[in-house]
Amino acid sequence: MTSNSNTLFPIFLKLSKLNVLIVGGGNVAAEKLHFLLKSSPDANVTVVATEISEAVSDLVKDQTHVRCTLEEYSKSWLNGIDIVVAATGDKKINKTVWSDAKKAKIIVNVADTPDLCDFYMGSIVTKGDLKLAISTNGKSPTFSRRFRELLESILPDTLPETLNNLNAIRKTLKGDFTEKVKSLNKLTELLVLENTKK
């Protein structure tokens, strides 16, 4: 492995089973909230800030899993929280949120401060049940976004139907795990070959 390798470990979280805290109510907080809700509409999110922007208000107005509180941040807000996003626009407050989260052993993302992030919010491509996450290791979010747009444009709209069909086939397969994997590998290989010819 070279020193330039991306060592991030990608995981897909069920945010309906976790509690997310966003500290901040401005444009950066709105961007983070939009990203979370676009990918996980049922995410449990609390937004705490002294002011809530129109952008944040618009995002939460029809959400039942998101609550906003007009209040200054204090570490008591971390009680029962699994993930924290510090997006206040004030470096001192963000650093305090980071410090409190680290002491509480809660993973944290400080907006626009890669050194204070336990995780990054990469670009996400979604086609039905297929979800792809893209990361540049924090080097270029713009490239991630452009690459997402490219993948969205070339992945066929029939993918959800294909995945449903593969799932139905998988349920009918006989034999042990290894035999099932071999059968599915052959089937998906044919699908990939067929799509690359188009």
Residues 102 and 192 in one domain: no
Tens-place pLDDT, residues 25-44: 999 999 999 999 999 999 99
pLDDT at 2 over 60: no
Confidence of residue 126 (pLDDT cuts 50, 70, 90): confident
Confidence of residue 65 (pLDDT cuts 50, 70, 90): very high
Cβ atoms within 10 Å, residue 122: 20
- Among 97, 121, 145, residue at a domain's last position: 121
Residues 70 and 114 in one domain: yes
pTM of the model: 0.81
169 domain-assigned:
yes
pLDDT at 193 over 70: no
Mean pLDDT, the chain, integer: 88
pLDDT confidence of residue 1: 46
Hunting for tokens 């919010």 — which residue is that?
121
Residues 56 and 128 in one domain: no
Q: What is the DSSP string of 31-99?
A: HHHHHHHHH-TT-EEEEEESS--HHHHHHHTT-SSEEEEES---GGGGTT-SEEEE--S-HHHHHHHHH
- Among 61, 96, 121, residue at a domain's last position: 121
Question: Lowest mean pLDDT: which of 67-76, 121-130, 139-148, 160-169?
Answer: 160-169
Number of domains in the chain: 3
Maximal C-alpha separation, the chain: 60
Closest alpha carbon to 52 in 28, 29, 25 = 25
pLDDT at 46 over 60: yes
Please give the Cα distance from 41 to 43 (Å, whole number).
6
pLDDT at 69 over 60: yes
163 domain-assigned:
yes
Q: Mark residue 17 as left, alpha or beta (left: phi above 0; alpha: psi -120 to 50; beta: remaining).
A: alpha
Domain coverage including residue 193? 159-197
Pairing mode of beta strands 83-86, 107-110: parallel
Closest alpha carbon to 125 in 104, 144, 102, 103 = 144
pLDDT confidence of residue 109: 97
Q: Which CATH number is 30's domain given?
A: 3.40.50.720
Eight-state DSSP code of residue 139: S
182 domain-assigned:
yes
pLDDT at 17 over 70: yes
The separation between CA 120 and the C-alpha centre of its own chain, rounded to angstroms, equals 8
Residues 148 and 106 in one domain: no
Tens-place pLDDT, residues 144-190: 889 999 998 888 888 778 777 777 777 777 777 677 667 766 767 65
Question: Lowest mean pLDDT: which of 89-98, 110-119, 176-185?
Answer: 176-185
Residues 24 and 99 in one domain: yes
pLDDT confidence of residue 162: 75
Residues 117 and 127 in one domain: no
6 domain-assigned:
no
Q: What is the percent of the chain with per-residue pLDDT over 70, rounded to a whole number?
A: 88
Residues 117 and 150 in one domain: no
Closest alpha carbon to 16 in 52, 60, 64 = 64
